[in-house]
Structure 1
Amino acid sequence: MTERKITSRTGVGSSAHVLQVQPLLAKNITVDEPTIILIRHGTKIIRWARNEIELTSGDAVIVGEGESFDIINTPCSLSGTYEADWLSFSSEVVTDYTCRNSRCTKINEAYALEATSESFRKSFYHTTDVFTDSASIPDALAIGRMHEMLGWLDEYGICFGAHLRNGIERKIRRLISSDASHTWNIKHVASQLGMSEATLRRKLTAENTSFSKLIADVRMCRALTLLQVTDLSVTQIALEVGYESPSKFSSRFRHRFGFGPGQVREEMITMGTQATLTREI
């Protein structure tokens, strides 16, 4: 079975396959890049600001950059798994793309594409190849394929909207996300952002957050993603997000989400050889 991991290219985007074996609710998950998610098995519910959409096998969802959602992934009763693939776009790719449909609705939060066509799904997986086969696909062609997917959104009459939240929180999240294992401190981050520590603290307070809260949240959201899309052990994931103690990591993870990291993977060892990772289009 192919090792599961996040594949990415600087200035292009990233892709991964999600596998989950228990129905779990993850609250207040922030999506850091414009993303398309294609559901293979099970159902996905996304809730935000009194809105809710539900998706099932064959559906896709378009998610805007920097928005936060409550997400419920529920395994299929037949396969016993929730499986999906996501394709994230670097902000530069989206900015550089010229929308050909002047009537497109700008999506800043989430939008469901129900029962996507076979052609759409083929194009989606053709695009994910730019990450799994990066050695033989030049950057220019990789960006071209990403633009092809944005062209599909044109056909559906939608496009990614401009990010609406441009405060200091977004900048810090992007910085921390670049290396969640790094020992970040507020003085260093303030310096990188060209301001004093006191100014940074005031700005964070004005946005109703704090430096320590942001670091913890970015690390925990990253950990949840790694649990869903990689075969790394819980101990390895703890290290990947800056925790040398697996027990301390597990405690923080449970405090953030209400369930332990092991629950995401509880039956994955026994089901791993049964779970299909083939493309279904």
Structure 2
Amino acid sequence: MKRNHIVSTNGHGAISYHKHLAFFKPGELIFIPKHLAVNIYVFCIDGRPLQIYLHKISGNKESTPISVDFIKAIDEVSRSSISTKSMVIQAITAYFDQSHHHDTPYHAQSLSVVEKIQPLIRDELQRKWSTSEICAQLYISSASLYRALKAENTSFTEILTNERLNAAKILLKKTHKSIDQISYECGFQSQSYFAKKFKAKFHISPTAFRKKNL
């Protein structure tokens, strides 16, 4: 059976083929037409291990209930200017049909909720994030978010703080910015609060960490 593929990854990157170039973010679907060589460049901005998910898709499947993820994907493609729009829509439809056909929910084959939240925070560290904003970005309800985070034994506050601290750690090591400036750029309200949280997580003060890594 002839097959296309859809790829998703936890990294940022770009895909090029037929002189077209498109960029993607963590968790976004990347359509690869059959019998076509493409170039895909993927990278993680924080040094995490790179994860790539490959899904084979095929047509001629019976229709299944439409999910929020399906609606979002179709809407994004419909509003795009790509020349293969109809082919991509058919491929996405087939992909979701196959997911339901095998009784495997889409979210189980893609990134976890935590992995979807992390890049959102990294892109806007100074933003005063709320759970309602995250739910809007991920197209899920607050109840679904709470259940997902509970299942992964974490909380939104913990994810938010960890992402800010990890970013601060990189800046302390790789830049000459002041600790106060790093604290502000990473979204902390004060340098003293930042120092307290940093020491609690890494068991060393920001000043001592910087001196150790000069």
- What is the TM-score normalised by the length of structure 2? 0.51
What is the aligned partner in structure 2 of residue 214 from structure 1?
A: 159
Q: Provide the C-alpha distance between the structure 2 equivalents of 1:161 and 1:189, rounded to a whole number of angstroms.
A: 22
Q: Provide the C-alpha distance between the structure 2 equivalents of 1:203 and 1:267, rounded to a whole number of angstroms.
A: 38
Residue 92 in 1 paired to residue 13 in 2? yes
Aligned partner of 1:162: which letter? Answer: I
Shift of 1:195: 1.4
Higher RCO structure (Cα 8 Å, ≥6 apart) = 1
Residue 245 in 1 paired to residue 135 in 2? no
What is the aligned partner in structure 2 of residue 162 from structure 1?
A: 52
Shift of 1:265: 2.1
Q: Which residue, 166, 176, 179 being the options, matches 1:234? A: 179
Shift of 1:165: 6.9
Shift of 1:96: 5.7
* More helix as a share of residues: 2
Alignment of 1:42-191 (within 5 A): 91-93=12-14, 162=52, 166-191=111-136
Work out which of the two has the higher radius of gyration on C-alpha atoms and give 1 or 2: 2
* More strand as a share of residues: 1
Shift of 1:267: 6.9
What is the aligned partner in structure 2 of residue 130 from structure 1?
A: none
Residue 225 in 1 paired to residue 194 in 2? no
Say which SS state the counterpart of residue 266 (structure 1) adopts.
helix
- What is the TM-score normalised by the length of structure 1? 0.39
What is the aligned partner in structure 1 of residue 144 from structure 2?
A: 199
Aligned partner of 2:206: which letter? Answer: P
Q: Provide the C-alpha distance between the structure 1 equivalents of 2:16 and 2:201, rounded to a whole number of angstroms.
A: 36
Count of residue correspondences: 124
Deviations along 1:55-101, one digit per CA (max 9) or x if unpaired, are: xxxxxxxxxx76xxxxxxxxxxxxxxxxxxxxxxx5333x669xxxx
- Over the matched positions of the two proteins, sequence identity in percent amounts to 29
In structure 2, do the counterparts of structure 1 residues 190 and 237 end up closer, same or farther at CA, with 3 Å as the change threshold? same
Q: Which runs of 5+ in 1 are unaligned?
A: 1-64, 67-89, 98-143, 151-159, 272-281
Q: Which runs of 5+ in 2 are unaligned?
A: 1-8, 18-38, 44-49, 54-108
Aligned partner of 1:173: which letter? Answer: Q
Deviations along 1:157-191, one digit per CA (max 9) or x if unpaired, are: xxx65158711000000110101111001111111
What is the aligned partner in structure 1 of residue 82 from structure 2?
A: none
Aligned partner of 2:116: which letter? Answer: K
Deviations along 1:241-278, one digit per CA (max 9) or x if unpaired, are: 1112101100000001111110122278xx7xxxxxxx
Q: How big is the alpha-carbon RMSD for the aligned residues of Structure 1 and Structure 2?
A: 2.9
